[in-house]
């Protein structure tokens, strides 16, 4: 998408912002920030339909026959409570998004509709899987810090300001503030104030769900969450979320920091509404007991193993029936492991949620076609849907394994605080590798019954799937790092004749151990310089990998979910078939 001209409209786009900070003070809210930017006119390049085809529409729903009337009412309220998160996240992603949305909505005809659809997919005008390249003409490059900071804030200005105002650091680096400029001053506006109008709507539906529901654990969480949205204090809600045991569940809050590529301080809002598959969840719960064993099996010296946070780690198998915010933008989250708060993790562990309807759709719609094009034929034939699902499960469990709080230069802090903006990609690569390492281990222990060759072939195809998310994303960058490191050891080879990738069975597991250790030790030592070096040297696609990826141009990169239980029309998905 480099062909897109990014003309000097930047000036016009940025100029009105100077006057809009005070609006925030008077009447904060996501809609307000763009009121002064009506002048934005967006032009569209040719070929937007091809961009839209990157995301194949897929209907996601669940069988509700096991739910009683009350539970269905609660489900509707949870969906309603999640809807406002869409606009909140749009504002977090970019200060100009409300104006961009209006500008696209004003373009008549099918091209305008396609552009608006793309905007909705990416929560903005920058394509997330293409390194945030703009799909419209004449906008400035995406600010590294999304909409969390003033768009023109530099690292130098930031450091200089913090040096002069050390007392302001907590407010400015908080996970849950937007940074605004007030003259020469920088201030942190709590999310509860910045997004009050939208969050109030969520709170109202949470209260309604509490009034309807008869499930104590769910009600406790929803009440705590309503409180947290109003106060920015999420710890009690996250603790309550860990204990939720209900056929319908909600996960809502500011969680991941991927959107903030400037510093990795700011959490994005997202929401998942799920219907739990209780039988399958109970089946997987037995894996919890094996977490200490998995930690022990990590290929690092014992002193770096972390047995502090294994207290509890529930697993949910669920069907996704609605998502919003970061969860719905760009590449779809197939599974998650929350909360991220290390204090809650040490107290309660973390909960993994697998979204099986989404995982199965990804396997069929993206992984199988990719393997056919890039893997050696005999390895492409080994692809296994269950191995794909279980690797995702163990990837998520692995976010809860390995170094958590560490000591470096006499300072104790979380790994992410030492690794800063390199952390998301390093942590994703770590989780992916540890997940594979433990899946192979548990298969030897006969906890799983997949053939190892099928696990590895599925994993290898998965690297190509993830790298297509763009090496600008944490997951895409992680996949490039994994592929490059494994190729350097000779565990993956590219066939010189047909250019296809093939793993080397005899070497693979030993090489996997070495590469996994490398990532874990960067975290164990909080080594920012090593993380940076690794990302610079290995975090991009090599020429040979690029050649393989170029075979996939006609394959969809990911899915665009359509949620009929939230009233969304399934017509598009039927047309696309
Ligand atoms: Zn992950």
Residue % of the chain over a pLDDT of 70: 92
315 alpha carbon – ligand 1 mean position (Å): 15
Nearest to 467 by CA among 508, 509, 432, 516: 432
331 alpha carbon – ligand 1 mean position (Å): 13
423 alpha carbon – ligand 1 mean position (Å): 12
pLDDT at site 37: 52
Least confident of 167-176, 274-283, 327-336, 415-424: 274-283
Mean pLDDT in residue range 534-558: 91
388 alpha carbon – ligand 1 mean position (Å): 14
| Residue 347 near residue 311, CB atoms below 8 Å | yes
What per-residue string of b and e applies to 20-35 under the rule 16 or more CB within 10 Å gives b? bbeebeeebbbebbbe
261 alpha carbon – ligand 1 mean position (Å): 17
| Confidence tier at 16 by pLDDT (50, 70, 90) | very low
435 alpha carbon – ligand 1 mean position (Å): 10
Mean pLDDT in residue range 281-296: 84
151-160 pLDDT, tens digit each: 999 999 999 9
* Pairing status of strand 185-190 against strand 55-59: unpaired
Q: How many CA atoms lie within 13 A of 556 on its CB side?
A: 23
Nearest to 266 by CA among 345, 331, 352, 179: 179
Mean pLDDT in residue range 197-218: 98
Beta partners for residue 254, in sequence order: 269
Residues 90, 95, 99, 100, Cα dihedral to 10°: -60
535 alpha carbon – ligand 1 mean position (Å): 17
Mean pLDDT in residue range 500-520: 95
Q: CB-based burial of residue 435 (10 Å sphere; 0-12 exposed, 13-18 middle, 19+ buried)?
A: buried
pLDDT at 201 over 70: yes
394 alpha carbon – ligand 1 mean position (Å): 10
The answer to whether the predicted template modeling score (pTM) of the entire model surpasses 0.85 is no
428 alpha carbon – ligand 1 mean position (Å): 5
Cis peptide before 367 (omega within 30 of 0): no
102 alpha carbon – ligand 1 mean position (Å): 34
pLDDT at site 105: 94
289-346 pLDDT, tens digit each: 888 999 999 999 999 998 876 556 788 899 999 999 999 999 899 888 899 888 888 8
Question: Which has the higher per-residue pLDDT, 127 or 3?
Answer: 127
pLDDT at site 310: 54
398-453 pLDDT, tens digit each: 988 999 888 998 999 989 999 999 999 999 999 999 999 999 999 999 999 999 99
399 alpha carbon – ligand 1 mean position (Å): 7
Determine the Cα–Cα distance for residues 548 and 501; give it in Å rounded to an integer.
8
pLDDT at site 381: 96
CA dist 562 to 104, 499, 507, 568, Å? 21, 36, 42, 6
152 alpha carbon – ligand 1 mean position (Å): 30
432 alpha carbon – ligand 1 mean position (Å): 7
pLDDT at site 375: 97
Neighbours of ion ligand 1 (CB under 5 A): 428, 431
Determine the Cα–Cα distance for residues 111 and 62; give it in Å rounded to an integer.
33
Question: Which has the higher per-residue pLDDT, 89 or 547?
Answer: 89
20-64 pLDDT, tens digit each: 322 333 333 333 344 445 578 899 999 999 999 999 999 999 999
224 alpha carbon – ligand 1 mean position (Å): 26
573 alpha carbon – ligand 1 mean position (Å): 28
Mean pLDDT in residue range 84-104: 97
Structural tokens at position 547: 């050649």
572 alpha carbon – ligand 1 mean position (Å): 30
169 alpha carbon – ligand 1 mean position (Å): 29
Determine the Cα–Cα distance for residues 313 and 220; give it in Å rounded to an integer.
19
Mean pLDDT in residue range 177-190: 96
CA–chain centroid gap for 567, Å, is 25
- For the beta carbon of residue 198, count every other beta carbon within 10 angstroms: 23
466 alpha carbon – ligand 1 mean position (Å): 11
- Non-local (6+) Cβ contacts of 200 within 8 A are none
Determine the Cα–Cα distance for residues 455 and 440; give it in Å rounded to an integer.
8
376 alpha carbon – ligand 1 mean position (Å): 27
pLDDT at site 26: 32
| Confidence tier at 76 by pLDDT (50, 70, 90) | very high
475 alpha carbon – ligand 1 mean position (Å): 7
- Non-local (6+) Cβ contacts of 526 within 8 A are 406, 408, 413, 415, 418, 419
128 alpha carbon – ligand 1 mean position (Å): 17
Determine the Cα–Cα distance for residues 142 and 150; give it in Å rounded to an integer.
12
| Confidence tier at 243 by pLDDT (50, 70, 90) | very high
207 alpha carbon – ligand 1 mean position (Å): 32
- For the beta carbon of residue 67, count every other beta carbon within 10 angstroms: 16
Angle in degrees, 0-180, between the axes of helices 452-467 and 505-524, rounded to the nearest 10? 60
Mean pLDDT in residue range 240-252: 96
Determine the Cα–Cα distance for residues 54 and 39; give it in Å rounded to an integer.
30
Determine the Cα–Cα distance for residues 226 and 466; give it in Å rounded to an integer.
35
What per-residue string of b and e applies to 79-93 under the rule 16 or more CB within 10 Å gives b? bbbbbbbbbbbbbbb
Whether the CA torsion 472, 477, 483, 487 is positive or negative: it is positive
Q: Which of 13-17, 22-26, 383-387 has the highest mean predicted lDDT (pLDDT)? A: 383-387
Mean pLDDT in residue range 476-481: 95
460 alpha carbon – ligand 1 mean position (Å): 16
| Confidence tier at 520 by pLDDT (50, 70, 90) | very high
156 alpha carbon – ligand 1 mean position (Å): 31
Determine the Cα–Cα distance for residues 461 and 364; give it in Å rounded to an integer.
13
Determine the Cα–Cα distance for residues 1 and 137; give it in Å rounded to an integer.
11
Mean pLDDT in residue range 385-399: 91
Residue % of the chain over a pLDDT of 90: 74
| Residue 310 near residue 349, CB atoms below 8 Å | yes
């Amino acid at each position: 998408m480099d062909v897109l001209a990014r003309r000097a409209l930047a000036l016009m786009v940025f100029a009105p912002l100077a006057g809009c900070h005070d609006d925030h003070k008077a009447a904060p809210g996501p809609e307000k920030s763009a009121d002064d930017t009506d002048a934005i006119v967006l032009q569209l390049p040719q070929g937007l339909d091809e961009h839209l085809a990157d995301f194949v529409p897929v209907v996601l729903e669940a069988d509700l026959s096991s739910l009683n009337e009350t539970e269905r009412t609660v489900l509707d309220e949870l969906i309603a409570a999640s809807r406002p998160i869409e606009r909140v996240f749009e504002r977090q992603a970019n200060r100009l998004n409300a104006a961009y949305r209006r500008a696209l909505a004003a373009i008549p005809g099918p091209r305008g509709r396609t552009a608006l659809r793309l905007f909705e997919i990416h929560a903005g005008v920058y394509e997330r899987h293409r390194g945030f390249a703009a799909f419209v003409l004449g906008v400035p490059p995406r600010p590294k810090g999304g909409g969390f900071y003033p768009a023109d804030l530099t690292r130098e200005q930031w450091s200089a300001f913090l040096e002069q105002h050390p007392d302001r650091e907590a407010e400015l680096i908080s996970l849950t503030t937007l940074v605004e400029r007030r003259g020469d001053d920088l201030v942190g506006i709590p999310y509860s104030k910045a997004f009050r109008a939208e969050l109030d709507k969520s709170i109202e539906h949470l209260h309604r769900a509490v009034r309807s529901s008869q499930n104590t654990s769910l009600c406790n969480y929803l009440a705590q969450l309503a409180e947290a949205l109003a106060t920015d204090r999420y710890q009690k809600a996250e603790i309550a979320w860990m204990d939720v045991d209900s056929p319908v569940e909600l996960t809502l809050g500011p969680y991941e920091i991927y959107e903030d590529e400037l510093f990795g301080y700011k959490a994005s809002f997202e929401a998942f509404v799920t219907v739990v598959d209780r039988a399958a969840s109970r089946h997987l719960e037995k894996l919890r007991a094996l977490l200490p064993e998995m930690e022990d099996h990590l290929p690092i010296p014992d002193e770096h193993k972390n047995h502090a946070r294994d207290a509890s780690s529930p697993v949910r198998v669920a069907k996704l029936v609605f998502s919003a915010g970061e969860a719905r933008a760009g590449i779809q989250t197939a599974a998650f492991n929350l909360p991220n708060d290390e204090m809650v993790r040490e107290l309660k562990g973390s909960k993994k949620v697998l979204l099986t309807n989404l995982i199965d759709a990804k396997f069929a719609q993206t992984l199988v076609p990719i393997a056919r094009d890039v893997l050696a034929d005999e390895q492409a034939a080994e692809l296994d849907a269950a191995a794909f699902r279980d690797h995702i499960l163990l990837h998520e469990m692995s976010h809860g394994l390995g170094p958590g709080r560490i000591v470096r230069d006499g300072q104790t802090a979380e790994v992410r605080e030492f690794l800063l903006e390199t952390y998301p990609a390093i942590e994703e690569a770590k989780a992916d590798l540890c997940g594979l390492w433990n899946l192979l281990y548990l298969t030897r222990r006969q906890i799983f019954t997949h053939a190892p060759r099928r696990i590895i072939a599925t994993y290898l195809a998965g690297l190509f799937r993830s790298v297509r998310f763009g090496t600008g994303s944490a997951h895409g960058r992680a996949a490039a790092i994994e592929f490059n490191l494994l190729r350097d050891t000779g565990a993956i080879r590219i066939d010189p004749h047909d250019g296809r990738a093939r793993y080397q069975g005899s070497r693979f597991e030993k090489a996997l151990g070495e590469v996994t250790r490398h990532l874990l030790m960067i975290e164990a030592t909080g080594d920012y310089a090593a993380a940076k070096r690794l990302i610079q040297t290995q975090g991009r696609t090599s020429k040979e990998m690029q050649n393989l990826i170029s075979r996939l141009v006609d394959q969809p990169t990911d899915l665009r979910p359509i949620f009929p239980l939230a009233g969304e029309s399934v017509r598009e998905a039927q047309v696309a078939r």
